[in-house]
Structure 1
Amino acid sequence: MKKIVECVPNFSEGRNRETIDAIAEAIRRTSGCTLLDVDPGASTNRTVYTFVGDPDSILEGALAAARVARARIDMRTHKGEHPRFGAMDVCPFIPVRGVSMADCVDIARTFAQRAAEALKVPFFLYEEAALQDYRRKLPDIRHGEYEGLAERLKDPRWQPDFGPAEFVPQWGATATGARMFLIAYNVNILGTANQAHRIALNLRETGRGNDQPGRLKEVKGMGWFVDEYNLAQVTVNLTNYRVTPIHRLFEEVGKEAAELKVGVAGSEIVGLVPLESILMAADYYIEKENLFIYEEDQKIRLAVERLGLNSVAPFEPDKKIIEYIVAEPPDEPLADLSLRGFIEEVAARSSTPGGGSVSAVLAALGAGLGAMVAKLTYGVRKFESVDAQMRAAIPPLHETTRSLIAMIDADTNAFNDYMEGVRMPSGTPAEKAARTERMQQGLKTAVNVPLQTMTIADSAWEALCDTARHGNPASRSDIQVGARALETGIWGAYQNVVINLEGITDDAFKAETLKLADAIADRARKKMQEVLDILETKRTS
C-alpha cells in the first residue's frame, strides 16, 4: 500500500498572484508531491494549499513552500480578515493512507526543526504534535495574532518549540502539527441565516457557551446565507470525522430543521474528502434501509444521493475523493491482457507466466463462477426465500475473485528478489554471504506469494458451499466447474510453495509454511467434494 500524507499549509497572502503561483510551483516541482488544490481568498488575504505525497516527499514539499514564503511574504504590510500570526501561518500534516498519526507527528516535528534552522524563524507545535497540553489548540497559540507576537515571545511560557525566541517582523511565527483530516461540510437549509445559525449552535461542540454545549463532538460551525445558491447553510468543520461523521451531522441537521419547520436541500463538501468518510455514510444508509450494496462505486453513489451532494454543484468522485485523485493504475500487465493474449503468453517460449500465475487464474475463475451464480440467484422472484443466503455469499465470492486477479502478476514478479540475488557479486566471503542472504529472502518471497494465493482462495469455500446449497439449480454445472477450478488453483499454488521451499535453509520457516499449506490444500480437497456432494443431493432429491 502506497503511503499518503496530506499537507494543508495556509499562507498569509491571497492577493499577489505571483507569490501565490510561486508557492504552488515550489510544491509542484517537489518530486513525489501532487498539488491538489490552491484556494486564495482576497478578503482574508490568505491562500490554502492542499498537496499529498509519501512522508519524505511531503516534508520536502512543505520546506520548499516555506522557503518561497520567506523570500516573498512580508507580514509588516499584511492585513486580512482571517486570524493569523505568520507568513506561513499554519502547516498541518494529516494521515491519509498507510501512515499513522504518530508518523505525522514525526513529520511535523522534523519539519519544524529543519524549517526553523534554515529560515531562522520561530515554530510552534500544535494538536497531536504539541509538546505541552496548553499549546495543543491553534487559537491558543495564535492568541493576539501577529500584532501581539513580539510581546508574547517575551513570556517564558510562549517560547517557540524551534527557532529563535525573538520577533522576526517579516515572518512572524508558524504553527505546525499533526491532526485528523478536516472535512469542510455545508448542509443546505431552505430558510434564513438565523435559522441555520440556530441549528449550528445546537450541534457544534462549543454550543452557545460553557453552560450550553452542543450535541456533537469535534464539530465547529455556524450558519450563513449564500446569495449565489439563494439558500442558507449550516457550515461546519468536522475536525474528526470518525467521531462525528458526515452522515451523523446531516441527519442531526435534518432533525433540527424539522423542529423549525424548514426544509433541508442536500449538502456540499468543500474541498476534498477521504474515501473512508464517504463509505461510512454509505454503510450507515445500507444498514438503516436494509440495502444490499457491496461494490464501492455503488456505495459512493448511494452516499452522494442520500446526502444530496449534487445539490449545488456536481460531486465528481475522481475530483473530490483524495484516494481517487492520487490513485495510480495497478501494474498488472498479465491481468490486463486479453484472454487470448494471456494463453499465448503462457504458451510462449519463456518461463513466465508459469504455473503459479495460471493457478491464480484458475482459482479466480472458480470463485468468479460462484459469484456469478449467487448474483444470478439473488433478486429473482422465485428464489426470494434464499435472498438472505445469497446476500451473505456474494460479497466474499466477489472480493475473493478480485483479490486473486492481483495474484496473477504477483506470482510472476515473485522471483525478482531471488534473481537480483543471483546477479550479485560473489568474489569475496562478504559478497558471497550477502548474495546468499538475498537469494534466501527472494526464495521466501517466491514461497509467500503462492501461499497468499492459497489463503485468499481458501476464504471462498463457505460461500461457495452455500451457493451450491441455495443457488439456482439450473446453474449446477457452473458451481461444479467453479469448485473444481478453485481446488485446482489451490493445488497448483501448493505445488509452487513446495518446490520453492526446497531451496530454503531456514528449517523453522519451512516447517511452519508447509504445515499451513498442507492444511489449506487438504481443506480444499474436502470442500470441493462437499460442494459436489451438495449438488448431487439436490439433483437426485
Structure 2
Amino acid sequence: MTATSLGRRLVTCLLNVSEARREDLVESVAKAALYDSEGIRRDGTTVLNIFNDHDYNRSVITIVASIESIREAVLSACVKACELFDMRTHSGVHPCLGAVDLVPIYPLGEDVGIEDCAQESCAIARGLTQRVPGTSVFLFGWADSPLQRGLAQRRKEMGWFKKTPDLNSVRVCIGPVPQKRFGLTGVGSSPYVMNCNVTIDTQDLTIGRKIATAIRESNLGGLPGVQVLALPHEGAVEIACNVESVPGRPLHQMSETSPWPSFSIGGQPYCHVPASLISARVAELAGRHGVGTKGTALVGFTPIECRGLAELALSRQIAEFWKEQKKGVHCLLPVDSCNRLRHSLRPL
C-alpha cells in the first residue's frame, strides 16, 4: 500500500446510466455522488471520468471512494439519475434495461476483498429500491450469492440483449415488477472489468458479428475474459468489449509483445487482456474481410490506471477530476502512463 492510499481501502463504481445526449444532466448525476443535498463535499470521494456516447445514449461515470464511503456516493448518484432520466422516452443503439442500467463495484487493491464489495452492492441494491419506490434490481457476480452468476449470463436471463425485452416476465432479485419509467438495474461486484471498443471501417454488421464471435471468450480461439457485441456506431460498426479480469497470471502472451497487466486481490492474482491485443486481433480479423479499423477507445481506465489516478485525485483533494483531465492536468504518474491515460479518454 502506498502512502497516498494509506487507510483509504479504495473501490470504484463504473456507473452506467442510459443518457449521454444531455451532458449537463449526466454531470448532475456525477456531482450527486460528490456532494450532499446541502452542497457539502463527501470526504474521500472523486469522480475520475465521465464517458458520454451519443449514439449509444449511454454514459459511464467512474466513481472512486473508500469501501466505507462508496455506498452513499453511489446511491445518491442513482437517485439523481432516476429523477432525471425516463426510460419511456429513451432511444439509443446500445442495449439497456434501466435508467440506471449497471452498478458494478470493483476493489482497487489488496486492502479490500471482493466479498466486501459484494456486501456493499447488496446494500446499494436494497437502498435504491427503498429510496426510489418502483425501482427494481437484479444481482450479478459475487453479489449474486450463492450462484455468483456472471453479468453476461444475468443480462441474458433478464432479456438485456433483446430489442424489445419483456420486463413483466423477468424475475428480479429486489423490488417490484419493473416499471417502464425506471426499468431494471443490474447491481453486483467482481474483479475489475475494463471496457474496450474498437471501430471497424464498415457499416456491415454481419462482418462485425463475425469478428465479435471470433474474439468472444466462450468460443474456440477467443480472448480470455472478453464479452463482446457488434453495434452500429457513428456510421461504422463498433466491436464493444467488456474485458473481465481473470484469475491467475497469463501462461502465454498469445503473440502479444506487451505484457498482460496483472494485480492481486486478497492474495489471488488476476490479469486482463491488454487493449492493444484486442485492437490487433480485431484489425487482423477485419483485414480478412478487406476492412480496416478506425480506432480504439477505452471507456475509462485499466484497473492499475484507475488506482493510480484515484490516489492522485484524493491526495490533491480533487473531487471533479474529470474536469482536470479535460484541461490536460499534469499527472504525478510516470510519463508513459499519463500518455496512455490521455490517449484512453477519447476515441482514436
Q: Does 1:143 align with 2:162?
A: no
Structure 2 CA distance for aligned equivalents of residues 263 and 80 of structure 1: 25
Q: Does 1:39 align with 2:56?
A: no
**Residue of structure 2 equivalent to 1:271:** 300
**Residue of structure 1 equivalent to 2:169:** 152
**Residue of structure 2 equivalent to 1:175:** 186
Q: Does 1:249 align with 2:277?
A: yes
**Residue of structure 1 equivalent to 2:241:** 236
Structure 2 CA distance for aligned equivalents of residues 251 and 226 of structure 1: 17
What is the CA distance between 1:5 and its match in structure 2? 0.6
**Residue of structure 1 equivalent to 2:318:** none
Size of the aligned set, in residue pairs, is: 280
State how 1:408-419 maps to structure 2 within 5 Å. Answer: none
**Residue of structure 1 equivalent to 2:32:** 26
Structure 2 CA distance for aligned equivalents of residues 217 and 126 of structure 1: 19
Instruction: Assess, with a 3 A threshold, how the Cα gap between structure 1 residues 128 and 190 changes in structure 2: closer, same or farther.
Output: same
**Residue of structure 2 equivalent to 1:161:** 173
Conserved 8 A contact 2:297-2:344 = no
**Residue of structure 2 equivalent to 1:104:** 117
Structure 2 CA distance for aligned equivalents of residues 12 and 219 of structure 1: 23
State how 1:264-413 maps to structure 2 within 5 Å. Answer: 269-275=298-304, 301=336, 314-316=339-341
Instruction: Assess, with a 3 A threshold, how the Cα gap between structure 1 residues 151 and 181 changes in structure 2: closer, same or farther.
Output: same
Conserved 8 A contact 2:198-2:282 = no
TM-score of the superposed pair, with normalisation by structure 1: 0.43
1:315 partner letter: R
Structure 2 CA distance for aligned equivalents of residues 95 and 60 of structure 1: 17
Question: Identity of aligned pairs, percent?
Answer: 24
State how 1:184-195 maps to structure 2 within 5 Å. Answer: 184-185=195-196
SS of alignment partner, residue 22 of structure 1: helix
**Residue of structure 2 equivalent to 1:510:** none
Instruction: Assess, with a 3 A threshold, how the Cα gap between structure 1 residues 106 and 79 changes in structure 2: closer, same or farther.
Output: same
The structure with more radius of gyration: 1
Structure 2: which 5+ residue stretches go unaligned? 1-5, 36-41, 247-269, 309-332
Structure 2 CA distance for aligned equivalents of residues 271 and 93 of structure 1: 14
TM-score of the superposed pair, with normalisation by structure 2: 0.64
State how 1:206-217 maps to structure 2 within 5 Å. Answer: 206-207=218-219, 213-217=220-224
SS of alignment partner, residue 65 of structure 1: helix
Structure 1: which 5+ residue stretches go unaligned? 208-212, 280-296, 305-309, 322-541
What is the CA distance between 1:42 and its match in structure 2? 2.7
What is the CA distance between 1:149 and its match in structure 2? 4.6
Instruction: Assess, with a 3 A threshold, how the Cα gap between structure 1 residues 35 and 248 changes in structure 2: closer, same or farther.
Output: closer
**Residue of structure 2 equivalent to 1:471:** none
Structure 2 CA distance for aligned equivalents of residues 234 and 40 of structure 1: 17
SS of alignment partner, residue 69 of structure 2: helix
2:179 partner letter: V
Q: Does 1:125 align with 2:130?
A: no
CA displacement 1:130-183 (0-9 Å, x = unmatched): 136496434224316796454215xxxx1x3222x3343321221100022222
Instruction: Assess, with a 3 A threshold, how the Cα gap between structure 1 residues 3 and 36 changes in structure 2: closer, same or farther.
Output: same
After TM superposition, the structure 1 stretch with the greater mean CA deviation from structure 2, 71-80 or 237-246, is 237-246
Structure 2 CA distance for aligned equivalents of residues 90 and 15 of structure 1: 18
Q: RMSD across aligned C-alpha pairs, in angstroms?
A: 4.3
**Residue of structure 1 equivalent to 2:12:** 6
